[in-house]
Amino acid sequence: MTDPTSQKFYELNLAERLAHLSRESGVPLEELEVLSGAGGLNADQADHMVENAVGVFSLPLGIARNFLVNGREVLVPMAVEEPSVIAGASFMAKLVRLGGGFTAEASAPEMIGQLQVLDVTDFEGARSRLEEHRAELLSMASAVDPMLMRFGGGARDLHVRLIERSEIGPFLVVHLILDVRDAMGANAINTALERIAPRVAEISGGRVHLRILSNLADRRLARAVCTIPLEALAFEGYSAEKVRDGILDAWAFAEADPYRAATHNKGIMNGVDAVVLASGNDWRAVEAGAHAYAAQSGRYTSLSIWRKDAQGNLCGELEMPMAVGIVGGATRVHPAAQVGLKLMKVTTADELAEIIVSVGLAQNLAALRALATEGIQRGHMGLHARQIAAAAGAKGDEIEKLAQQLVHEKTIRAERAEEILKEWRKQAYD
């Protein structure tokens, strides 16, 4: 692989980028070409995925560059409609690699499933009977998916909780912990829950109501850390110390205030969701887990932590639930997701989780660095102006020319774009 820090990938045209990507990644061009056009999924494939399908809905797919995760170069596919996200992640990854790249880890892929048990009369008796039957219930749950057992997964534990509710009275909740290996695991856990539910009812003497996984996957966490050498933070008129301290002050705001934390975490999810989506995973599940985890202390706060080390370098950390898989579901049937996984060269769900959390941290840094210095609008302007120009009806070379004019006038508005276009076309006609 050539040195990614010297690439000017963004200067190539679409066809050249695909060819370059193919050479760089070793993924054959014919396979990458599924990304062109409708984004790899056709209406017939969509028809097998959802009910009442009438077609497909596409999003831009870009490649974030410069990522070094656990010492490995990674090309990161990101599906996202927002300008500046991919550029921001790539640029921050470039700064992070000056400090050795991202160090990331994922805990065991253990999902939590919940059974709500109502109408229990003897709570302590039910709890101790369920605990006595733990081994039997775990082996019942494991037997549901022999394939999972073959790959080293299976049921790991059972916890019994009592929840007090004045409206309906207290009820029991049984948590089933299932190691789902390289799957996202929703199907595995929901099937296992449905299988053990009747036996749980018998043992507890209650009635099993809900049987569903929890998206607060706090036993399946991914964590990334990075260090940016202080001197790498300086740019234009901003000293390195000013940028670093500005980022730390911005983080303190998110840490203290839920209004700010929601936006701060949204910035993290810009990166996380884009990779979750490009790998065919369930981004709503990851979103739900992220925000519930951010509120786990009882107060919603920042998912990331930023601090300075003894040498004054900037250090970042992001830990969050990461229920993603590389087998099953859309990861298997969506051709673009298959290409995405190949580009990242991931062989386990853990590796995918480690990349995703690293991208989330990079994205957070991009937002904080911009917000703490020149603001985010400057970075957004170019692409936003191109979107407005295209929407106003500009075609071909006109799009770039009109975008530049809008940026120059500092008026990136649809009415102004239409007005300029009308003037140009009138001049050409006259």
Instruction: Identify the CA nearest to 203 among candidates 172, 168, 163, 165.
Output: 172
Dihedral angle sign, alpha carbons of residues 325, 329, 330, 333: positive
Check if 266 is active-site. yes
Contact call for residue 66 and ligand MEV (CB under 6 A): no
CA of 397: how far to CAs of 293, 349, 381, in Å? Answer: 47, 43, 18
Check if 309 is active-site. no
CA 30/CA 422 separation, integer angstroms: 41
CA atoms within 13 A on the CB side of 1: 19
Of 264, 291, 369, 384, which one interacts with ligand MEV (CB under 6 A)? 264
Query: Which of 242, 308, 345, 380 is labelled catalytic?
Result: 380
Q: Which of residues 71-90 bind ligand MEV (CB under 6 A)?
A: 82
Q: Which stretch binds ligand MEV (CB under 6 A): 26-34, 146-154, 261-269, 400-408?
A: 261-269
- For residue 154, the cross-strand partners are 179
Query: Which of 33, 47, 73, 82 is labelled catalytic?
Result: 82
Minimum gap (Å) between residue 254 Cβ and ligand MEV:
7
Minimum gap (Å) between residue 96 Cβ and ligand MEV:
17
Name which of 134 and 266 has its Cβ closer to ligand MEV. 266
Of 234, 288, 376, 383, which one interacts with ligand MEV (CB under 6 A)? 376
CA 332/CA 323 separation, integer angstroms: 16
Contact call for residue 108 and ligand MEV (CB under 6 A): no
CA 81/CA 60 separation, integer angstroms: 6
Check if 282 is active-site. yes
Report whether 359 contacts 279 (CB < 8 A). no
Helix or strand or coil: residue 298? coil
Query: From the CB of residue 52, how many other CB atoms can be counted at a distance below 10 Å?
Result: 5
Name which of 180 and 254 has its Cβ closer to ligand MEV. 254
Residue whose Cβ sits closest to ligand MEV: 267
Report whether 120 contacts 370 (CB < 8 A). no
Name which of 96 and 130 has its Cβ closer to ligand MEV. 96
Check if 122 is active-site. no
Contact call for residue 129 and ligand MEV (CB under 6 A): no
Q: Which stretch binds ligand MEV (CB under 6 A): 218-226, 262-270, 317-325, 347-355?
A: 262-270
Residue 1 DSSP one-character state: -
Contact call for residue 270 and ligand MEV (CB under 6 A): yes
Contact call for residue 367 and ligand MEV (CB under 6 A): yes
Torsion, CA 259, CA 306, CA 216, CA 335, rounded to 10: 100
Binding site for ligand MEV (CB under 6 A): 82, 263-264, 266-267, 270, 367, 371, 376
Catalytic residue numbers?
82, 266, 282, 380
